[in-house]
Structure 1
């Protein structure tokens, strides 16, 4: 996609140079040509082409935030089994009074 953008910007730059160096052309006309044929359409096309990527990134960020919120609310969401002791993974046995 970016190769087409670079190619089109090159063509527009050459159109602008031709406009500026022509005997009937002006520098103002070259600037207008560069913006109206180059920057504005290319910016619009790139923005529209990247819309699916932006949506995917937003959904991934929202899913990560949701997982983080759910993990902070669930007390047993840790990676250890409930009641497991630090040494050996065996729960300590208590004597009855």
Structure 2
């Protein structure tokens, strides 16, 4: 996953640099290139590629919680009625 993201980020950075340094290019064009070809697709691809890791983390969390803990947390351990002295 990291290799794909790193490679694409390098390509986009070079595209933005070429746009900024070109006589017909502009800094605004380089910024748009960086955002539309870099940040937006990388965020989507990174989210998709990280899905298996998120599933594993969720399964480990659920497995740890299933080890005798109450599902609602400490609030469910309180008595249902108040005992008068």
Same fold (TM over 0.5): yes
Which of the five TM-score ranges fits, normalised by the shorter chain?
A: 0.7 to 0.9
**SS of structure 1 residue aligned to 2:24:** coil
The alignment's TM-score, normalised by the length of structure 1, stands at 0.66
Structure 1 residue ranges without an equivalent (≥5): 71-97
Over the residues paired in the alignment, what is the CA RMSD in angstroms?
Answer: 1.3
Count of residue correspondences: 70
Matches of residues 10-29 of structure 1 in structure 2 within 5 Å? Answer: 10-29=10-29
Higher Rg: 1
The alignment's TM-score, normalised by the length of structure 2, stands at 0.75
Q: What's 1:87 paired with? A: none
Structure 2 residue ranges without an equivalent (≥5): 71-85
Higher RCO, 1 vs 2 (CA within 8 Å, ≥6 residues apart) = 2
Select the structure that is richer in helix: 2
